[in-house]
Structure formats: structure tokens, C-alpha cells
Amino acid sequence: MQTVTMLKINERLKTLSDEKLVVVFDFISYLADRELNKSLLDEATPDAIECMYASEQVLTRDWNLPEEDESWKNL
């Protein structure tokens, strides 16, 4: 496995177009969010996780309304 440094990453990023930088930023954001969510779940107590899953079931009733879909369709 090759060693990757911030310097190498920055050098490669400088060669990309603005459109490609948006894609890279989206991917990095996805990875960072996934890592954060994993660490939050690792630290969550069983009660907190149970509450989260119970809330999801209740909130689904509101999330799955046609009005809700209409509100979010342009995003």
C-alpha cells in the first residue's frame, strides 16, 4: 500500500477542474460523515439506539406523506 500525504493529495487536487473538485468534496464529505456516524453509534447507549429506532417508525408516518415529497422534490 502506498503512503499518501496531504502534500501529495494537495498536488493532485490542484490539477483538477472545479467540476471535479465538487465531486471530490462530496466524496470526502460522505466519508467524513460516515466516520462520524459510526463513532456516534459506537458511543450510543443501548437505550439511545432503541429510542432512535422507535422514533424512526413514528416519524416515517410524516416523512412518507405526498406533501413531504412535494416539499423536497427540488433538492
Identify the pLDDT of residue 1.
80
Identify the pLDDT of residue 60.
85
Instruction: Using a cut of 0.75, tell me whether the model's pTM lies above it.
Output: no
Q: What string of DSSP letters covers 1-54? A: -----HHHHHHHHTTS-HHHHHHHHHHHHHHHHHHHHHHHHHH--HHHHHHHHH
Averages of pLDDT over runs of 10 residues in the chain (75 residues) are 92 96 93 83 77 84 84 84
Identify the pLDDT of residue 19.
95
